[in-house]
Amino acid sequence: MPDYKFTKWLVACVAIIASSSLTASPRERVDLNNDWRFYRYADNQQADTLIYDTRPAVEGFNDSQAADTRPTDAVSISSQADILKPWILPSGNAFIHDPAKRHTRPAGNPGEDFPFVQHDFNDADWQAVTLPHDWAIAGPFYTGDNPKVGGGMGRLPSHGVAWYRKQFTLSDTDKGKQIYLHIDGAMSYSMVWLNGKLVGGWPYGYSSYRLDLTPYVSTTRPNQLAIRLDNPPQSSRWYPGAGIYRNVWLEKTSPVHVSQWGTQVITPHVTAESADISIKTGLTNNTSSARTVTMQHAIYELSVDDQLSRTPVQTLTSEIVTVQPGRDQTSSSFTKLANPKLWGPAPQQTPHRYAVVTTLKENGSVLDQYTTAFGIRDLQFDPNKGVFINGEHTPLQGVNQHHDLGALGAAFNLRAAERQLEILQEMGVNAIRMAHNPPAPELLTLTDKMGILVLNESFDSWYKKKTPLDFHLIFADWHEQDLRALVRRDKNHPSVIMWYIGNEVGEQYTGEDGAKVALALKAIVKSEDPTRPVTASMNWAKADFPFSAAMDLISLNYQGEGIRQAPEFEGTNRIRTPPSYPAFHKAHPDKVILSSETASAFSSRGIYLFPVTPEFSAPVRDGRGGDSRIHQVSSYELHAVDFGSSADKVFRYIDTHPYVAGQFVWNGFDYIGEPTPYYSARSSYSGMIDLAGFKKDRFYLYQSQWRPDLPMAHILPHWNWQGREGEITPIHVFTSGDEVELFINGESKGRKKKAPLAYRIRFDDIRYTPGSVEVVAYKDGKPWAHERVETTGPAAALAASADRSVIHADGRDLSFVTVDIVDEAGRFVPTATHNIAFTLSGPGRIVATDNGDSTDFTPFVSHQRNAFSGKVLVIIQSENHDSGDIILTATNKELGTTSLRIRSK
């Protein structure tokens, strides 16, 4: 597999890649991330009244309700007279198909007298910030009962009203150009003023959007941007983040140009010998007269670092297009490419990419040049076998991922996202589901480059609500705009193989009415992209429901293995569903079935609780895998949320139903918020990898199944059990082999084969004796892998290691440093909890620390932290344009000091 190490921060959008090797173009994209000022109203301070819309009062909401609680009806309220919604709604007009339904901006300019939007307002005492920015991640955490923000949303101060201000300048050469502001994500209800004028906004915090600044800009004096955000409490079931948490751009174009996300590249017929390529191009004419332009497309190969090949592999015949004034129109082109290099998922295939460069000229002068990255692949769905990519059967080995980046919060960072994907690929992941919202656009560029399949999801709720102030408040007004914006933005990514219009929505419960909503949403997607299937995840809708029939394919959450089938759930009012793959396959024999959420298993890295259940899947209770005193869950990896299943159980059901296309485990990384089963904590327990990026034991269970050709064996638990001498301490082994021999202090404890439909080898009668535990794994009777753990001495020193010892001096690149506590022999001490303090010298800064402990309320920005199960993470960021050696020093008064050198260049 190619080495996808991060090379540089690209001033680029998902499919718009600057290329200095081509003809000069008026199109210019300017990074606006630096030099912002930020202010947030305090909890005890009255915010301004520039509100988007009136919201219902919230009373008695249970933040810790089960994740599969049935959604409820919206609360009916009346809007007050002075809301700003009428001025914001027109911002989405380009994404409303029916002209009669588009919005007319009222007269007037709300907020023009408010100080924060004025040029002469003095914001010198506001906080200086760089975007992307998450105002909540620094904390402090809310603790105790009845906090302002509960465990579901991560106990961080993500709620409230805040303002961002920034100035930018234009020159005389910008006169006559279109000037656009691009915001890739702002949480939430964003409203933008420029030079005291309300430009527009967008309420859904996960959507990328663009505003036309042209009527409001000045080329003779600095332009003052002011952006107001209003992030409600009780608006999410997980940590939403806060602030302008994705990138912001200024774009300059000719009045005649390629429209926003205006190209669509489709490869309707692909073989190894040739590929049909269809290119649709949207053109915009913002002048008052018709303009006749020459349009030409050239196709280039695109390297992993986004460089175009020196010469095009295909140049299409130029076209003459007359673009009518004041409107958008579409032009279609077609070509055939011989011997295409196909895009396919790694590691079985190679993710080759191409780019179409579209050039518009008028009278020989270049008006615009627009670059669109794409991939050539054949995608087929077989209801009896699953997914085929370029003719190769590709079982989906997927995980769900929330959008936060652990201790960095929701503020997008390319290297942090890349690191997550690298760790997931190491485990054997070939697909991810975006849970449950549009991702940062750069994340999809990464999945394209790395060969990872994507289920791209839009909404967690429709008309019915899951939390009092979630997306249901704006669904009626904004679902079409949000959905079209998502598909237009992401349609050219070869990694995207399905569109998801909803997750466990309440409309599952409403029969034909719910199916009607689903079909309307599906029609919107199909009108934008007819090439990919559209579906929604179902945790309640049954095989014979109209909601299920509305989907292009069947996407099940937990139903495949059955929900709450243990005797203890009989007679409860919770969802109880028998294993359902056969019922859905029988009812929909023409549709692919996949599991979009499986498992939701729990564990706390390095924590092992006794006794160990003899079952292969069990719910968490005190004394049965959980301990509510310390709020931790056993890492024997046998326990799950009540509606879920262990990994072992899921694998059994997938393997016994071969028509199932694959699974997406809940979830890859722990995430902030939703800390089931202990809502007094800060972050989830369900990842195979903890919040800091440290691998849990479950990582190796999945790796043993998803990478069967990788020789590996993993032993659990650790072997530091002072005080348990002579007590039963089961040893379990995850291996890609089929047989294991166990040795305790050199003495064989037997050789065991994996039982049919078993995914671990258990030695449940082992009594603890200090010393060594060793396994030799076999495959087909031959030695395959070896693993050893030992009882260590007491903690004696610190050992630091970096994921990357050289980073780029761009102010964004990161090095993730792990500090392990070791004994005198250098062996990792898995039970150590010492407090470690960090200092840094050189051109870098410590941006966060973490340890993966869901119960640790030390602010992420702290420079000292207790180890959890022997480990601490430190995240170091470079300084912009400042190279040299960065020296990290870690200190504990008992264990001494260790230092690590990182080069920034």
Region at 180 (left for phi over 0; alpha for psi -120 to 50; beta for the rest): beta
List the 392-393 sheet strands across, edge first.
379-382, 386-389, 392-393
Strands 291-302 and 319-323: antiparallel
Q: Write the CB contacts of 747 (distance below 8 Å, at least 6 apart in sequence).
A: none
Owner of token pair 């939430």: 188
Strand, coil or helix: what is 105?
coil
Closest of 466, 460, 471 to residue 433, by C-alpha: 460
Residue pointed to by tokens 């960095």:
408
Of 120, 108, 84, give the one whose Cα is nearest residue 197.
108
Residues 688, 646 contacting (CB under 8 angstroms): no
Within 13 Å, how many C-alpha atoms sit on residue 281's CB side? 29
Closest C-alpha to 155, from 60, 64, 42: 64
Helices and strands in the chain: count of H runs, count of E runs: 9, 50
Length of the chain measured in residues: 905
Residue 95 phi/psi, 5° resolution?
Answer: -110, 10
> Which residues fall within 8 angstroms of residue 607, CB to CB, at 6 or more apart?
632, 633, 634, 635, 869
Q: Which amino acid is at 113?
A: D
Q: Is 486 helix (H, G, I), strand (E, B) or coil?
A: helix
Query: Which residues face 777 on adjacent strands?
Result: 740, 785
Q: What is the DSSP letter of 351?
A: B
Positions annotated as catalytic residues are 504, 597
Residue whose pair of structure tokens reads 């399949």 in the numeric block: 453
CA distance 870 to 351: 38
Contacts of 756 (CB under 8 A, 6+ apart): none
Q: CA 878, 879, 884, 888 torsion: positive or negative? A: negative
